Structure 1
């Protein structure tokens, strides 16, 4: 390899016929696969079988023995990329690269992997100026998201231990983060008084419900500041803040800087020139393989 952190080999967006199998094999490189829809497909690695019954990402390491058994009753779409990582890149410290770590990652609603994977394939198809550098950044973000999922303290709470009323409230907040959300409504949905709901929510989540709602709105706004060219005012209104000045105060308190400073520090205007987040099939051919670099065949 040269001194690049990542070297891409090939990628694709394909829909395979129902019942297809990929016999046991070992790869010479890393493979990241995104399944956008849950099916009854199966993935077996090192003798452990996983049913891919929800949107997920698979991460296969070099020389890991694995096989695929696709859903017997329905076609299965998946997007994938094969790559190598430079030994001197600093990425080799990732626990993700260790064989004994998790290899199947169910995707949360807030995951950016679906958009990033499609943008990655768009770059492979169009190959605009500096496409390799842009592609590396997109892949690195996906690897960071998967790596963070391995951290035991990476989440604010363990959803499996939550009462169903609190879990439902958290899902409601995520699904309606762009809308006004009243604590009274969450309490009614839970069948509890506001006082009991607030005490229970804070006990399990670590934040009062109103504070958590505002935090999630600000975090969503931070994402949108990097993904969209909209003005700060438009983004503030888009996540449910009618009072722009309140949004600015809350953003600075939560993120430690103003929204404008956040966009200037972390934004990259080139990212906004990639494919828009809908009607992806118009931007690169579906059922297509992108050959980026020749390699010896896998076994």
Structure 2
């Protein structure tokens, strides 16, 4: 197992080691043997934090949410900045050191598993580009914080199975974020901004022209570029977001279908129900019945 930094942990820092008997559970349990954490934590304002590994026998993910650090991977020098995700796979010779004047604040996870390399490959890792500039995303920060919160729930086996599966969710969510980074790099379409507009208008109508205007693009180019990056049209995605929110409302509230339809901007409950069935595969009433089984 790769060495972990012995950086002096402050009061608000966290460094968590998965016990050996739980690692054995991970290795033997079909629910988590494909991907599981070994150690993880949070280092705030980590001045003096540094590590050099000539041998590295697990995978390491670092998410920098503030500050800077210097990184060397296989002899290549990189600068880690706020909002960067760092991926360091098995067998990668590397070192990193927090900037003295502006030290990084990081979430980090050492992980392994039968499919751990496949999960890393899903992030399009390469030695040449071990850093992805995701930005500081509240939902991603919350994902790392949730992992730390779950670990405080105790040492029960089911808790650790949940931790392992939360890691899977986190890794696959990061993979979804990467296309938006590519869009931002091309300076032609910012998916995070567009999806933020969609979420903001989830209770209203939103047309293609409004979205294209927000992106400063023509309707034709915006629609074409969006579909290239996501696999569906902007309006299709907006409708899917609405129907996903409808499912949430059906799950957590006692609202009638026509009330939920109005809340999502549909005056015609029958039209809303047809859209719901097209997207979800069953009507809102059928969904409610399945929920209560």
Q: Same fold (TM over 0.5)?
A: yes
- Matches of 2:104 and 2:96 in 1, distance apart? 11
Tell me which residue corresponds to 1:198: 219
Matched ranges for 1:219-258 at <5 A: 219=241, 222=244, 230-231=252-253, 241-243=264-266, 245=269, 246-257=271-282
Deviation of 1:72 (Å): 3.4
Q: TM-score, normalised by structure 2?
A: 0.62
Counterpart pick for 1:107 among 124, 129, 134: 134
Q: TM-score, normalised by structure 1?
A: 0.61
The reply on whether 1:216 has 2:238 as its aligned counterpart is: yes
Superposition RMSD in Å: 4.6
Q: Runs of 5+ in structure 2 lacking a partner? A: 1-23
- Is 1:80 aligned with 2:101? no
Deviation by residue 1:223-251 (Cα, 9 ceiling, x = unmatched): 89579963496999699722273444334
* TM-superposition CA deviations, 1:131-171 (whole Å, max 9, x none): 11111111112233455678xxxx5996268674xx26x55
Q: Deviations over 1:188-243 (max 9, x none)?
A: 55677xxxx22222333349xx9514513524763895799634969996997222
Distance 1:100 1:186 in 2: 34
Counterpart for residue 63 of structure 1:
91
Aligned pairs for 1:1-299 within 5 A = 1=24, 2-4=27-29, 5=33, 6-18=35-47, 20-25=48-53, 26-37=55-66, 39-85=67-113, 87=114, 90-91=115-116, 93-94=118-119, 96=121, 100=126, 103-107=130-134, 112-127=139-154, 130-146=158-174, 159=183, 164=188, 167=189, 170-178=191-199, 179=201, 180=204, 181-186=206-211, 197-206=218-227, 212-216=234-238, 218-219=240-241, 222=244, 230-231=252-253, 241-243=264-266, 245=269, 246-257=271-282
Q: What is the rounded CA distance, in whole Å, between the counterparts of 2:155 and 2:262 in structure 1? A: 32
Q: Which sits farther off after the overlay, 93-102 or 42-51?
A: 93-102
1:282 corresponds to: none
Which structure is richer in relative contact order (CA contacts within 8 A, separation 6 or more)?
Answer: 1
**Aligned length in residues:** 248
Alpha-carbon separation, structure 2, partners of 1:227 and 1:131: 28
Query: Residue 73 of structure 1: SS of its match in structure 2?
Result: coil
CA contact (8 A) 2:133 2:181 kept: no
Q: 1: distance between equivalents of 2:261 and 2:134?
A: 24
Structure 1 gaps, min length 5: 268-299
The answer to which of 91-100 and 9-18 deviates more is: 91-100
